[in-house]
Copies of this chain bind each other. A is one copy, B any other.
Amino acid sequence: MTRQSGILYGLGVGPGDPELITLKAARILNSADVVYAAASTKNSYSLAVSIARPHIPDLTPVKMLQFPMTSDRDKKITAWKKNAGILIEELKRSKIVAFITLGDAMTYSTYGYVLQYIQELAPNVSVISVPGITSYQAASACLNKPLVESEESLLILSGVSGGDCLRKYAVAPDNLVFMKSYRNVKDIVSSLEEYDLVDGSVAIQNCGLPEQEIVDDVQGLKDSPPNYWTLILAKRKKGDVPQET
């Protein structure tokens, strides 16, 4: 495949607050020929597009790429490849294409997968990725509490599979983020208890949105599981020696 004159921009549009988008992403949305977003859940659809909307000229088409919500890896790969193909076709027609994604373009994003298939199927296309503010950065800022400082560590975990992703580390990190703390929140909170991290934990639901809620008693989440947009920030008590389990 020869070099195309189109450019694919992968844009992180931030966590929800429409002002937490970068000048760069806003400028690119303003000049793109077409804007794509992932349609995985109703929520992520409306949120990413609604953040980007003020920066997209009225005549620019906004198109959705379908990604099935499934744990079937073959089905996922089929969707990633198919959607990579759709974007490559646009680039072949020399289009400036913006693919928008909630939060950061490189952090647990659908764009990250599609990017890898584009690089495999059409290694010569021009791709420019633009970072965005993550939900955990927004949560930390909203709490006015540093995420990580000095020579501390920060461990970011997907909460999808529960607490085992923390349990495999013998030593607790100084600071911890559990993304997607909803379906397996009971087990996540149990793992925080095992590492003596519960007292330094806070959960945030719908961070940066009007319905935002801060939950200081994360143990209470065991009895009333939160909704989809929940993350937990945990901090080891200052002065503690590293926690050996």
Task: Give A contacts to B, CB under 8 Å.
Answer: 10, 14, 17-24, 26-27, 104-109, 112-113, 115-116, 119, 127, 129-134, 137-138, 140-142, 144-158, 160-161, 165, 168-171, 173, 242
Measured between beta carbons, the chain B residues less than 8 angstroms from A21 are 22-23
B147 touches A158 (CB 8 A): no
How distant is the Cα of A105 from the Cα of B141 in the complex, in angstroms? 7
Chain copies in the assembled complex: 2
User: How many Å from the CB of A154 to the closest CB on chain B?
Assistant: 4
Q: List 13 additional A-B contacts (Cβ < 8 Å) besides A20-B24, A21-B22, A132-B133.
A: A19-B27, A21-B23, A107-B146, A107-B148, A108-B149, A113-B149, A115-B146, A129-B141, A151-B161, A153-B155, A153-B157, A154-B156, A155-B173
Across-interface contacts of A142 in B (CB, < 8 A) = 129
Which chain B residue shows the least CB distance to A151? B158
B242→A145 contact, CB < 8 A: no
Chain B proximity of A184: nearest CB distance (Å): 11
Q: Which 9 A-B pairs have the closest CB atoms?
A: A112-B146, A19-B24, A131-B137, A129-B141, A154-B156, A106-B140, A106-B147, A170-B170, A131-B141
Residue in A24, A127, A131, A170 whose Cβ sees the most chain B Cβ within 10 Å:
A131
**For the complex, what is the distance from the CA of A161 to the CA of B127, rounded to whole Å?**
36
A144 and B156 form a contact (CB under 8 A): no
A-B contact pairs, 15 of them (CB 8 A): A21-B22, A104-B137, A105-B141, A106-B137, A106-B140, A106-B145, A106-B147, A108-B148, A108-B149, A151-B165, A153-B158, A154-B156, A155-B156, A155-B173, A168-B242
